[in-house]
Amino acid sequence: MGLLFLSWLIESYDIGLTGSVLPSLTQQLDLSTSMKSFVAIAANIGIVIGIVPAGRLADHFGRRKVLIAGTGAYAVLTFATGLAHGIDSVIILRIADGMAMGAVFPIPYVYASELCPRDRRGRFIGWADSFLSLGYFLSPLLALVLIPNVEDTNGWRIMFFVGGAPILFALLAWRYLPESPRWLESKGRWIECEEVLASMESRAERSTGRTLDPIPNEEPRSTTPVLHPLRSIFRPPLLRRSATLWVTFGGTFFIFYSIQIFMPTVVTKMGYSPTSAFAFTAVIVGVSIPGKLLESWVIERWGRKPVIIAFTVIAAAASLGFGFVRGALPIFVLGCLMSFFGIGVDPAVKTYTSESYPTEIRAWGVSTTEGFGRLISGVIGPSFIPVVLSDLGVGAVYALVGTVALVAVVVVALFGRETKGLTLEQSAEVLFPPRLSRRSSTTNAGDGVG
């Protein structure tokens, strides 16, 4: 889990680079409004392109290989962006960089859901996700230090050079990160699965000083056939579940992108200096860390749905008010509320998503949900924000953000299912309608686990 925490820390720094360097690039290269929009969403375009096929690869080749390959690729591409000449090169490299990051994004919480017990699954994902916010916090913080103080206007380049450091993590993961035993079991690779479990048990026995009790055998798995992995999430009985998750993911993450990508630009638009804008953004994003820690505590007490609904409603209300207040203190308070709850809810959404799909197609289901959600929240939505900001002002931007978040609340409240306290097999259980089963009519087609 420590390695998974680290993987999100280093990746989130890279995601935060766009918002951190955008004001500097705009000033140095005299970017138009449309070009600023394209720079802002370039990495997110790549993430949407890369994230969905990566889920299928992770289900086919394993979680470990995809995590390592994706991390190594985006580290090299981020470093190369620091050498770019001209905005065209920056955009192309950021799209390619995003494709590699998309391959990595869902893997840590797929891993966490498959490794953690039912009463700690949400807590661990909340802790891991807090490291994402730490990386998002580091990016504007470094921008505050580097960009104004590096000679020859090369501060933004140094930011990208630092983003090449994750290549060291790829080497650590290759050496120390095991493959998911659940994935190995789903592929029938029993010997490797037992070897991984035996290694975990041995470390646990050494750390506790006692011999572990034998693990009881699970009930036999059903022989109900799994639907075709590329089609199953788009058809009953998983279609309703998938659609609910797509809307929930897209609506809640729109709050995150409105802060992470555009907060420095918005604060500058309100009349503050770029240095003040970076400081505002760093603190506002940093506030999401205790928000995620609170989420990790309440999610195993309240449940997934109540946390998603409560956190998102508060964040949406703060967003609706953010664009209409004036003065540093009201802006700061509402921005912090928006971040604390609006970004703090993200691990609950990720936990909820990973618990909703069977192991055989978990990475595919999770990556498709992230892909669609980030298409809405990280590409389509942000592409409109500079135009809305220029024509209608800050109030219209955050009224849009709050409204989209409330749509997600309504959808998860009406159509979501609670997964708190269930084993991963129970929470991901799929009851196949009889018309989808090819088993004989004497067999109950509704008792299977997909």
- pLDDT, one tens digit per residue, over 84-105 is 888 889 999 999 999 999 888 8
> Does position 449 have pLDDT exceeding 60, yes or no?
no
Average pLDDT for the chain: 83
Is the Cα dihedral 275, 277, 281, 283 positive or negative? Answer: positive
CA distances from 101 to 11, 23, 35, 51, 104 (A): 7, 23, 22, 8, 5
Query: Which pLDDT does position 202 carry in this prediction?
Result: 86
193-212 b/e with 16+ CB inside 10 Å = b? beebeeeeeeeeeeeeeeee
Spell out the residues 6+ positions from residue 172 whose beta carbon is closer than 8 angstroms to its own. 3, 6
Query: Region 14-33: what's the mean pLDDT?
Result: 80
More reliable by pLDDT, 254 or 235 = 254
What confidence category does residue 216 fall into, taking pLDDT thresholds of 50, 70 and 90? low
What confidence category does residue 180 fall into, taking pLDDT thresholds of 50, 70 and 90? very high
Query: Which pLDDT does position 448 carry in this prediction?
Result: 34
Architecture of the domain made up of 2-187+228-436: Up-down Bundle (1.20)
Query: Which pLDDT does position 241 carry in this prediction?
Result: 92
* 354 in Cβ contact with 122 (< 8 Å): no
Query: Which pLDDT does position 94 carry in this prediction?
Result: 93
CA distances from 29 to 36, 43, 139, 223 (A): 10, 19, 21, 61
Amino acid (1-letter code) at residue 169 = F
Is residue 298 packed enough to be buried (19+ CB in 10 Å), middle (13-18) or exposed (0-12)? middle
Query: Which pLDDT does position 223 carry in this prediction?
Result: 41
Query: Which pLDDT does position 440 carry in this prediction?
Result: 37
CA distances from 212 to 120, 271, 311 (A): 19, 62, 39
How far apart CA 58 and CA 362 sit, in angstroms, is: 9
> Does position 220 have pLDDT exceeding 50, yes or no?
no
Query: Which pLDDT does position 446 carry in this prediction?
Result: 35
- pLDDT, one tens digit per residue, over 372-428 is 888 888 888 877 887 887 778 878 888 999 999 999 999 999 999 999 888 888 887
> Does position 206 have pLDDT exceeding 90, yes or no?
no
User: Which of 23-27, 79-83, 182-186 comes out lowest in average pLDDT?
Assistant: 23-27
What confidence category does residue 214 fall into, taking pLDDT thresholds of 50, 70 and 90? low
Amino acid (1-letter code) at residue 238 = L
CA distances from 390 to 298, 380, 387, 396 (A): 39, 17, 5, 10
Tell me which DSSP letter residue 430 carries: -
How far apart CA 13 and CA 68 sit, in angstroms, is: 17
Among residues 252, 243, 245, 244, the alpha carbon closest in space to that of 406 is found at 252
Query: Which pLDDT does position 169 carry in this prediction?
Result: 92
Query: Which pLDDT does position 397 carry in this prediction?
Result: 87
- pLDDT, one tens digit per residue, over 240-270 is 999 999 999 999 999 988 887 778 778 777 7
What confidence category does residue 303 fall into, taking pLDDT thresholds of 50, 70 and 90? very high
* 195 backbone φψ class: left, alpha, beta (φ>0; ψ -120 to 50): alpha
Query: Region 152-157: what's the mean pLDDT?
Result: 71
Helices (H), 30-120: 33-61, 63-81, 87-104, 107-115
> Does position 215 have pLDDT exceeding 90, yes or no?
no
Domain boundaries, the chain: 2-187+228-436
Query: Which pLDDT does position 217 carry in this prediction?
Result: 54
Query: Which pLDDT does position 441 carry in this prediction?
Result: 36
- pLDDT, one tens digit per residue, over 36-55 is 878 888 888 888 888 888 88
The percentage of the chain sitting over the pLDDT mark of 90, rounded to a whole number, equals: 33
- pLDDT, one tens digit per residue, over 114-142 is 988 888 888 888 888 888 878 777 787 78
Query: Region 19-23: what's the mean pLDDT?
Result: 80
Dihedral angle over CA of 272, 274, 279, 284, nearest 10: 70
